């Protein structure tokens, strides 16, 4: 893979990070030097990871909402929560 700014190449399967603003593949040195007015450059890889994490969080929240609806439907108290409080 080749850095689009200094054209340094990495061997093997190593991936460069990329600017979250313009999407250019940049080596570590160029990321540190900055891009698009950000020093260091905003990491595209980090932004993608955070987007993934936010998506997963939303899915988990949706699952929890389903569980909450189920508890309301059966009219059962939240036994799990009560046990947790006694344990502490
Ligand atoms: Zn570079
Ligand atoms: Zn950029």
pLDDT tens digits for range 15-42: 789 999 999 999 999 999 999 999 999 9
- For residue 31, is it within any domain? yes
| Ligand closest to CA 39 | 2
- Which residues neighbour ligand 2 (ion) by CB within 5 Å? 19, 21-22, 35-36
Model-level pTM? Answer: 0.61
Instruction: Name the nearest CA neighbour of 47 among 77, 18, 10.
Output: 18
| Ligand closest to CA 30 | 1
> How far away, in angstroms, is 50 Cα from ligand 1 center?
24
- For residue 86, is it within any domain? no
Which stretch, 2-6, 54-58, 73-77, has highest mean pLDDT?
Answer: 54-58
- Count of domains for the chain: 1
| Ligand closest to CA 7 | 1
Domain that holds residue 62: 1-75
- For residue 82, is it within any domain? no
More confident residue, 77 or 1: 1
pLDDT of residue 87: 57
């Amino acid at each position: 893979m080749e850095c689009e700014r200094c054209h340094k190449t990495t061997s093997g399967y190593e991936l460069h990070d990329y600017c979250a603003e313009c999407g250019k593949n940049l080596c570590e040195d160029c990321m540190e030097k900055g891009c698009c007015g950000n020093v260091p450059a905003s990491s595209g890889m980090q932004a993608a990871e955070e987007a993934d994490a936010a998506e997963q969080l939303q899915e988990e929240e949706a699952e929890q909402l389903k569980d909450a609806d189920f508890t309301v439907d059966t009219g059962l108290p939240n036994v799990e929560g009560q046990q947790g409080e006694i344990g502490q």
